[in-house]
Structure 1
Amino acid sequence: MATSQKEVALTELHDRHGAELWRFALRLTHDRQVAEDVVQEVLLRAWKDPRLGEREEPAARAWLFTATRNLVIDRWRSAASRHELRTELPPDRSVEDGTSVVLDRWLVAEALGSLSPEHRAVIAAAYFEGCSVADIAARLRIPPGTVKSRLHYGLRSLRLVLQEKGVTRS
């Protein structure tokens, strides 16, 4: 299609659908300027479409409204619409709210609850109280080898439970 024919077709599209497209974009964006920008971008895309003149009226109208809707969705998804700003320097330090620590503790406590009482007792003594194998053996009145065995199998079971919860990798 020659440029003059394209201009005529684009002008006709704008005259027939421009106001409706703008109202549609305004309903989606609730911002007059953004709606104008969206319609302008859609008409520019229509201008660049080589099949512009080949489309029948209903197909052209559907294409324009679909393109408008898609462009608004793209703007919503973009960082600019969420008012995110890029900075050259990141903040000096992040402020942690402790949520991840609480969640980790909760997951570990739940996983520990699924272990046998024997495994849970040696793991708690070793890792939460800092007791040595000899101290645990004396306290529980079991041989040190049994303490080591319970630690080994208890930790293995704990890892499997956490993997099932999606906390750790296989």
Structure 2
Amino acid sequence: MALYKMHSGAMRQWLVRRGIPKESAEEIVNDAFLVLRRKWVDPKIRDGKPMAYAYRVADNLRIAHWRGQPSGHEKFHGVEDLPMAATTDRDDYAAVLDRLMLREAMDKLPEGQRRAVELRYLQQLTADEAAAELGVSAGTIRSQAFLGLRTLRRTLQDETHIPGEEER
């Protein structure tokens, strides 16, 4: 989480300077850090240059955005469908803990925020699609998703720690 805190603003500004709308830039930054988190078990990423990897992912997502292509991320239907790319018993244990912590944190969110986060980021629906499903405005979905993600970040930041992140 410290990497996200330290670099998300700069990455978002980097994307906006390259012509990406602010809302899309926020989504691309979140997706890039999600990919980085999933790939953290790879020593080449973790011990190499993780931010260079995150910027490469963000740039690929930026290009896909302008081409109007899907991001290549598979659709998720709930927290239980989150992939776990683990290669060792220790990694399996860490992945299970991550999933449990996320499920627990999601359960603590108010219903509107939880549904907005699930639809926008797990099922990867647009704000308009999510709004139609819940019967509210797209602005409400954006607001609730933003508040939900902020709450999740704060909750998980207190509970998670990636070794070596302070040195970066």
What TM-score range do you get, normalising by the shorter chain?
0.3 to 0.5
Largest Rg, 1 or 2? 1
- State the TM-score, normalizing by the size of structure 1: 0.41
